[in-house]
Copies of this chain bind each other. A is one copy, B any other.
Amino acid sequence: MPEIPPPLTTMPPAHQADLLITGRWLLPTSRQRDAIAGGGVAVRGDRIIAMGRADELAARYPDARRLHEEHGLIMPGLVNTHTHAAMACFRGLADDLPLMTWLEDHIFPAEARLSPDIVYQSTLLSLAEMIKSGTTSFCDMYLFAGEVARAAHQSGMRAWIGEVLYDFPSPNYGELENGFAYVADLFRQYQDHPLITITADPHGVYTCSPDLLLRLGAMATEHNCPYVIHLSENAAEVTLCRERHGCTPVEHLERLGLLNPRTLAVHCVVVDDREIGILAAHGVKVAHCPESNMKLASGPAPVAGLLRAGVTLGLGTDGSASNNDVDMFGEMNSAAKLHKLITMNPTVMDAETTLHMATLGGASCLQADSDIGSLTVGKKADIIVLDLNQPHLTPLYNIPSHLVYAARGADVIHSIINGRLVMRHRQLLTLDEGAILTRMEEIGRTILTSRNH
């Protein structure tokens, strides 16, 4: 495990703050009624120690370092509940194809040639993109997860990371038995990391035997961590599961005793009302990935029904091979509009509901809502600042509306994760953006060359 860096600032005496972040508006939650004009946040170490009007905070903490943005909107960092960050290296390599052609002729052959270095570099690229578009936490499932974690550690991002297991040999660990050992090793390496949590990640019910599903379930129980699985992403998966197990993917996991509040079910596109009831009854969380579901023509997840049933939902971008970005602002915009259209009801997925899904809802999906997802005294300082002084954000009547329907990742100018400034005036402070881009261009040329041979 890489060495954990020391905190950036020495812990000051009590009643002191390290950093005061102030601006035009503070939106601590997803609700417009909670907005504070001229508000700010005081941070000590990794936590929020005070919130309120900027002038009052400045008087209370005169010695704190100031980050004041005249036209800034201060808000919680976004939580991306489903990524394959390293797939950034495949962005735009193959689009607009039937699912099986895309997977079998393009993605699987490319993945077979993955190396630890490509995964590490490509994850760095996604981390740069995520920080520059307002994400402060992400939940990643991929191959060579140790490299994903190494990159996340370097970036200072908060991360939930799992090595994906399935019945077939993996480009990373080879035979499945090695996979369990690899995951167990990750748990050991990162057990005390302040920002990285290891998760248990079976790929899906159509690619994992019941034994695999159960063994990872036991690891999730042992470590009390999220159990992340693609579930009912499309009709083909459900058909296959019915043929093999005589039931739907949701029923299959229920029969195996694998539905519980740690389960993070990704997609849930093809689930009926009865299955929604099952997910709700077991406290299962759902990572909704609207843009991936649209681009792959998987279908629209029944989000309005899931919300009515009280299921906790987060938003996810999925990988850049099927989205093709990791911009959570774009994902909010798509999510809100998609479900209005699908239900033919413009009141569905209002701006506050959508913003909640991208913040506190996502945090709840990761069992982290007591630490992140909103700005509250005592919570971790995961904070972003947007520049409101732009044509597409003027005038401003309702902040959640602007965030969901008009704002873009590029509007984020500062980012603080765990009390640490990781981006200032759009300059990344923990990553060397120029070096990452140069290296990724080389990797892109290699991928293209090897594909053409």
Indicate if A408 sits at the interface (CB-CB under 8 A). yes
Residues 401-429 of A, flagged 1 when their CB comes within 8 A of B and 0 if not, give 11001101111000000000000000000
| A390, B409: Cα distance in complex, Å | 13
Supposing A96-B351, A346-B102, A401-B324 touch, asked if A340 and B294 sit within 8 A by C-beta, the answer is yes
Contact A394 B444 (CB under 8 A): yes
| B residues less than 8 Å from A297 (CB atoms) | 340-341, 343-346, 348
Task: Give how many A residues have a beta carbon under 8 Å from the other chain's beta carbons.
Answer: 76
Take A98-B347, A344-B299, A346-B297 as given contacts and tell me if A441 and B337 are in contact as well, using a CB distance cutoff of 8 Å.
no
Q: Is the CB of A347 within 8 A of B401?
A: no
Chain B CB within 8 A of A91 CB: yes
Expressed in whole angstroms, the minimum distance between the Cβ of A426 and any Cβ of chain B is 10
Taking A297-B341, A341-B300 as contacts, is the C-beta distance between A395 and B346 under 8 angstroms? Answer: no
Interface flags, A366-407, vs B, CB<8A=1, else 0 = 000000000000000000000001111011111001100110
Which residues of chain A (309-365) have a CB below 8 Å from chain B? 320, 323-327, 330, 333-334, 336-338, 340-341, 343-351
Name the one of B96, B126, B338, B440 contacting A395, with C-beta atoms under 8 angstroms. B440
Kindly list chain B residues whose C-beta atoms are within 8 Å of the C-beta of A91.
392, 395, 397, 401-402, 405-406
CB pair B343–A437 under 8 Å, yes or no, is no
Q: A323-B405, A406-B325, A409-B408 are known contacts. Are A396 and B92 too (CB-CB below 8 A)?
A: yes
A241 to chain B, nearest CB (A): 19
Given B92, B97, B443, B444, which contacts A346 in the complex, CB threshold below 8 Å?
B97
Say which residue of B99, B334, B433 sits within 8 Å of A391 (CB atoms): B433
Does the CB pair B436–A293 fall under 8 Å? no
Identical chains bound together, number = 2
Q: How far is the CB of A111 from chain B (nearest CB, A)?
A: 16
Residue pair A92, B327 in contact (C-beta under 8 Å): no
Q: Are B128 and A391 in contact (CB under 8 A)?
A: yes
Decide: A405 and B337 in contact? CB cutoff 8 A: no
Interfacial chain B residues near A93, Cβ < 8 Å: 397-398
A91-B406, A295-B340 known; A96 vs B346 contact (CB < 8 Å): yes
A437–B340 CB distance below 8 A: no
Given contacts A95-B350, A347-B98, A447-B395, contact A294 B337 (CB under 8 A): yes
Counting chain B CB atoms within 10 Å of each CB, which of A88, A297, A402 scores highest?
A297
List B contacts of A320 (CB < 8 A): 406
Q: Cα distance A444–B402 when bound, in Å?
A: 14
Measured between beta carbons, the chain B residues less than 8 angstroms from A433 are: 391
Chain B proximity of A69: nearest CB distance (Å): 15
Complex contact A98–B346 (CB within 8 A):
yes
Which residues from B are CB-within-8-Å of A96? Answer: 340, 346-347, 349-351
Asked if A296 is at the interface of the complex by the 8 Å CB criterion, the answer is yes
A394 touches B344 (CB 8 A): no
How far apart are the CA atoms of A323 and B404 in the complex, in Å?
A: 11
Q: Which residues of B contact A338 (CB under 8 A)?
A: 294, 338, 341
Q: Which of B129, B392, B447 contacts A129 (CB 8 A)?
A: B392
- Residues of B near A128 (CB, < 8 A) are 391
A281 within 8 A of B: no
A441: which of B298, B347, B394, B448 is its contact (CB, 8 Å)? B394
Give the 8 A-B residue pairs with the shortest CB-CB distance, closest first. A395-B444, A294-B337, A96-B350, A410-B410, A92-B401, A129-B391, A324-B405, A297-B346
Of the A-B pairs whose beta carbons lie under 8 Å apart in the complex, a sample of 26, sorted by A's number, is A91-B392, A91-B402, A91-B405, A92-B401, A92-B406, A95-B350, A96-B340, A96-B347, A98-B346, A98-B347, A99-B346, A102-B346, A126-B391, A294-B337, A297-B348, A299-B344, A324-B401, A324-B402, A324-B406, A326-B392, A334-B337, A338-B338, A391-B433, A392-B409, A410-B410, A410-B411
Apart from A89-B395, A408-B408, list 19 A-B contacts with CB within 8 A: A91-B395, A91-B397, A92-B397, A98-B347, A125-B394, A294-B337, A295-B336, A295-B346, A297-B341, A297-B344, A300-B341, A325-B392, A325-B405, A334-B334, A338-B338, A391-B433, A395-B445, A408-B409, A408-B410
